[in-house]
């Protein structure tokens, strides 16, 4: 169990951490997809805890059910801490990791799914890891015929939560590799730098061999897999996802004074609509005319930025929800679903229905 002091440390309350380092400010920013909270809450309910648990961490049903919603890492950590406090670990990290698809990790997840090889996946992870994870870091290297992903913690936190975090990370990456390769029999190994947990036997058959009490925490797989073509490769969608990753990277780098960073941050789907040019201009404290001129100097326009946001959100809604095509079209601002289908086909080379069907077969 967590001690009272450590538990309180994870409460998402700025007043509780007055001496927080500015480099850790991102822990309170909405960067974690709400699907993480949805998944851990489902597990909590399966273990007999009430759904009202979300109120204890400051989440509402509206926030929880937002298909493109984001929450702060501290909120997610506090939710996990509450579950551990009340019913114990019992493989919480493994459960979350096994249930989350790669696309739950936002634009970076989409980029990985659309990559051509695992080597390209590793390159993208190195480049954009920071937009999804900052408490842990990883290095990749090849050694004696193995491809090795070496993980280590950057931020100290309670050992109980650290175990959950590493369990989850290993499950996420092992599942992602099997999905990307279309092969459930990868001959790999998982190394963990803590003792074997009492819940491990019930998960043994869902992973390659796990070796505990190792000198490091690593995911190891045959290096020959690095250059095997991935069946879901999609160069056009990959480029779109990389562009979004680049935008998020700029925003998370603290460069909010940059004009384009501010614009990208504001073009989000909220209450069934996107901000108009007038809304953007007002929030940026400028005129519509000046907004148009400044966008033009950056080689873009409001219409192009809106189209990019619609692409991003269309993929997310098709992948992470069961909403009808007609409903998604309406949420994205298309009065006629046929116009949405036509636009989506232009982006992806297939209809929304075909895209969803193909992803469901993954």
Instruction: Write the pLDDT tens digit of every residue in 284-331.
Output: 888 999 889 888 766 678 888 888 788 878 887 887 788 899 999 998
The confidence score (pLDDT) of residue 5 equals: 36
Better pLDDT: 176 or 132? 176
The confidence score (pLDDT) of residue 189 equals: 92
The confidence score (pLDDT) of residue 154 equals: 59
| Count of beta carbons in the 10 Å neighbourhood of residue 96 | 24
The confidence score (pLDDT) of residue 328 equals: 92
What value does the mean pLDDT take over residues 160-164? 89
The confidence score (pLDDT) of residue 11 equals: 45
Helices (H), ranges, the chain: 4-9, 34-46, 53-56, 61-64, 73-87, 92-99, 106-113, 118-128, 159-181, 235-252, 259-266, 277-283, 288-297, 302-320, 325-331, 337-348, 352-360
What value does the mean pLDDT take over residues 179-200? 91
pLDDT (tens digit per residue) in 50-61:
988 888 888 888
- Mean of all residue pLDDT scores within the chain: 82
**Separation in Å, CA 37 to CA 28, 66, 107:** 15, 11, 18
CA 331 from centre of chain: 22
Q: Which residues contact 13 (CB under 8 A, 6 or more apart)?
A: none
pLDDT over 70 (residue 145): yes
The confidence score (pLDDT) of residue 96 equals: 93
The confidence score (pLDDT) of residue 306 equals: 87
The three-state secondary structure class of 169 is helix
Helices (H), ranges, 142-188: 159-181
Q: What percent of the chain has pLDDT over 70?
A: 85
| Count of beta carbons in the 10 Å neighbourhood of residue 198 | 11
Pick the CATH number of 255-360 from 3.30.450.20, 1.10.10.10, 3.40.50.150, 1.10.10.60: 1.10.10.60
Better pLDDT: 8 or 199? 199
What value does the mean pLDDT take over residues 135-155? 79
**Separation in Å, CA 314 to CA 48, 191, 331:** 35, 38, 9
The confidence score (pLDDT) of residue 18 equals: 37
Which residues pair with residue 146 across a beta bridge?
Answer: 143, 222
Q: Confidence class of residue 94 from pLDDT cuts 50, 70 and 90?
A: very high
**Separation in Å, CA 273 to CA 32, 56, 255, 309:** 22, 30, 26, 11
Better pLDDT: 49 or 186? 49
Better pLDDT: 228 or 6? 228
pLDDT over 50 (residue 82): yes
CA–CA dist 90, 75 (Å, integer): 21
Q: Confidence class of residue 348 from pLDDT cuts 50, 70 and 90?
A: confident
Integer-rounded Cα radius of gyration of the chain: 21
Q: Confidence class of residue 71 from pLDDT cuts 50, 70 and 90?
A: confident
What value does the mean pLDDT take over residues 255-268? 65
Q: Rounded to a whole number, what is the largest CA-CA distance in the chain?
A: 64
The confidence score (pLDDT) of residue 107 equals: 87
Of 141-150, 227-236, 259-268, give the lowest mean pLDDT range. 259-268
Better pLDDT: 239 or 22? 239
- Could you tell me the residue ranges of all domains in the chain? 1-88, 91-235, 255-360
């Amino acid at each position: 169990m967590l001690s009272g002091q450590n538990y309180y440390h994870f409460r998402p309350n700025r007043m509780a951490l007055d001496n927080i380092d500015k480099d850790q400010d991102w822990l309170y920013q909405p960067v974690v997809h709400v699907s993480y909270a949805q998944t851990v809450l489902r597990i909590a309910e399966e273990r007999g805890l009430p759904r009202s648990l979300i109120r204890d961490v400051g989440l509402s049903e509206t926030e929880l059910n937002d298909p493109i919603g984001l929450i702060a890492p501290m909120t997610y950590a506090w939710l996990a801490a509450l579950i551990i406090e009340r019913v114990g670990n019992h493989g919480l990290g493994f459960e979350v990791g096994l249930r989350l698809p790669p696309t739950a990790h936002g634009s970076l997840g989409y980029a990985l799914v659309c990559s051509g090889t695992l080597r390209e996946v590793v390159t993208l992870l190195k480049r954009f890891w920071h937009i999804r994870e900052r408490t842990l870091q990883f290095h990749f290297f090849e050694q004696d015929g193995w491809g090795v992903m070496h993980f280590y913690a950057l931020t100290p936190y309670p050992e109980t939560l650290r175990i959950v975090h590493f369990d989850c990370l290993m499950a996420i990456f092992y599942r992602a590799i099997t999905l990307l390769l279309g092969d459930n029999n990868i001959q790999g190994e998982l190394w963990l730098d803590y003792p074997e947990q009492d819940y491990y036997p019930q998960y043994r058959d869902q992973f390659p061999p796990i070796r505990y009490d190792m000198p490091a925490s690593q995911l190891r797989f045959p290096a020959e897999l690095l250059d095997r073509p991935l069946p879901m490769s999609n160069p056009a969608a990959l480029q779109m996802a990389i562009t979004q990753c680049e935008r998020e990277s700029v925003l998370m780098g603290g460069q909010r004074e940059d004009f384009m960073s501010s614009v990208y941050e504001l073009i989000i789907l909220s209450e069934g609509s996107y901000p108009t040019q007038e809304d953007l201009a007002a929030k940026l404290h400028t005129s519509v005319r000046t907004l148009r001129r400044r966008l033009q100097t950056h080689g873009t326009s409001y219409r192009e930025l809106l189209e990019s946001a619609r692409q991003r959100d269309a993929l997310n809604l098709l992948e992470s929800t069961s909403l009808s095509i007609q409903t998604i079209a309406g949420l994205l601002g298309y009065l006629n679903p046929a116009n949405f289908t036509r636009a989506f086909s232009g982006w992806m080379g297939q209809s929304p229905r075909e895209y969803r069907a193909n992803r469901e077969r993954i």
